[in-house]
Amino acid sequence: MPRYRLDIEYDGTPFLGWQMQVEEPTVQGVLSAAVKKFCGEEVIPGGAGRTDSGVHAMGQVAHLDLEKDWPEDTVRDALNAHLRGHPVTILDARKVDETFDARFSATARHYRYLIVNRRPPLALMANRAWLVHVPLDADAMAQAAPALIGNHDFTTFRAAACQAKSPVKTLDKLSVRRSGETIIIEASARSFLHHQVRSMAGALKFVGEGKWTAGDLKQALEACDRRQCPPLAPSAGLYLVGVDYASDQA
């Protein structure tokens, strides 16, 4: 039974996240339905990241097993044909070893958060970024971000409903840069807590507004108290941009 890796992009706006739910539109749900229409098999693809409602992906990865040994291009093109009407695209489909698991084989996940910092409302970027009207100091945000890099207890930046066994994670990268009116936050780690990236984005926005200093950000982290975290950044600005695997797993 061949296993296929799927590289996927999607607009998360109409979906209640990645994970399949009863009578609710999800990315995993429409993908499973496309597989059923393609080959008649009941398959639930496993995903690398369980993105939340409204969160987008440029580089989600999934795996699935099919009974027939289909050509890779056929799998990609057939699934895309049956995904028409949904903002989901299979960028690539290729056969992988049966030990490959999109979630558990991952060595790193990369997220991007976009803030559009201007007064006028969004037209082209509506539901694609967080519109912040007040001026933000991106340099201050960039200087504060390293306080969160490393191995820490991220309870402050964790959703109350997070199901992770431990709040301790190692954040490998957290950077901030401005490109015109857009502020780009990049975060990388092997894995993240539920709402961790959006929580960190909300905290960095506080720094950009001048409500917090870098010291305040560090103090909030060390408090290990969710009540110390600023409001969660909206889901519309968050993108799963890529997932890394060991060379023999990719």
Task: Write the pLDDT tens digit of every residue in 105-116.
Answer: 999 999 999 999
Residue 167 region, left (φ>0) first, then alpha (ψ -120 to 50), else beta? alpha
- Exactly one of 11, 52, 225, 244 is catalytic; which is it? 52
**172 catalytically annotated:** no
Residue 169 lies in a domain: yes
What count of other Cβ atoms lies within 10 Å of the Cβ of residue 211? Answer: 11
Contact 30, 59 (CB under 8 A): no
Residue 161's alpha-carbon distances to 152, 158, 167, 204, in angstroms, are: 19, 8, 12, 22
Model confidence pLDDT, tens digit, residues 44-73: 999 999 999 999 999 999 999 999 999 999
* Pair (39, 145) in one structural domain: no
For residue 118, pLDDT beyond 70? yes
Spatial CA neighbour of 145 closest among 224, 206, 235, 57: 206
What is the CATH classification number for the domain harbouring 176?
Answer: 3.30.70.660
* Count of domains for the chain: 2
Residue 216's domain spans which residues? 107-243
- Global pTM exceeds 0.85: yes
